[in-house]
Amino acid sequence: MTGKSDIRKYILSRRDSIHEEIRKDKDREIKERLLVLSEFKASHKILLYASFRSEVDTFDLLKYCIAHGKAVVLPRVDKQDGELKLYEIKDTEELVKGYFGIPEPDVSEDRRMNVEHMDLILVPGVAFDEKCNRLGYGKGFYDKLLSRVKGQGSKVKGLIALAYEEQIVESIPSESHDIRMDKIITDKRIIECHN
């Protein structure tokens, strides 16, 4: 299993097969590991994502962040430009089904935010390896977005992926444009990479 599409297919099937009760326990473990991180505690503006299908559930996390006064920012796919636009939400009720049925912010343009101004970015993905390489869904939306925070002027304290242990593979083929995570939080551990 060396090609990206093979890995993607295998891991999505593996992730989909996690039993609901086990998944809830795993979600709780991952959330608890994230909440004690110093970079999470110190962050005011956090780019999150609304979980979709069998991804690590982020809805409790979204509600927690809103309740604790953090600025919660989520992406919305701009199909015309082929990129993610970011918007602050004040409540999970402001999410509607968007691109491919993924929950997206349905708010006005005055809530638009820049990725360079985020303190912390939580990134979805299909698979990850212990070198913090990420395999996304194949559209390149996050690679394009994250390439902007690796430059000067960015105040982002970290790129963190949330994943089930079942999503960790031995190796992910990476290319020069692929952005590596700083940390991957699973239900069993925190994988730290110093890029």
Task: Indicate the average pLDDT of the chain.
Answer: 93
- Looking at residue 176, its pLDDT comes to 78
Percent of the chain surpassing pLDDT 70: 96
How far apart CA 33 and CA 38 sit, in angstroms, is 11
- Looking at residue 172, its pLDDT comes to 94
Q: Which of 192, 37, 2, 54 is nearest to 119 (CA)?
A: 37
* Strand, helix or coil for residue 87: strand
How far apart CA 106 and CA 114 sit, in angstroms, is 17
User: Is 162 in contact with 56 (CB distance < 8 Å)?
Assistant: yes
Indicate the DSSP class of residue 3.
Answer: S
- Looking at residue 177, its pLDDT comes to 74
In this structure, what token pair is assigned to residue 94?
A: 């402001």
Q: Which of 131, 148, 150, 120 is nearest to 48 (CA)?
A: 120
Q: What is the mean pLDDT of residues 36-46?
A: 96
Q: What is the pLDDT of residues 63-105, one digit of tens each?
A: 999 999 999 999 999 988 889 999 999 999 999 999 889 999 9
How far apart CA 19 and CA 22 sit, in angstroms, is 5
Q: What is the mean pLDDT of residues 110-119?
A: 95
Domains of the chain with bracketed CATH? 4-192 (3.40.50.10420)
pLDDT confidence bin for 152, thresholds 50/70/90: low
CA angle 75, 78, 79 (to 5 degrees): 135
Q: What is the mean pLDDT of residues 167-190?
A: 92
pLDDT confidence bin for 139, thresholds 50/70/90: confident
HSE-up (13 A, CA, CB side) for residue 170: 3
Q: What is the mean pLDDT of residues 159-163?
A: 97
Q: Which of 84, 141, 93, 136 is nearest to 113 (CA)?
A: 84
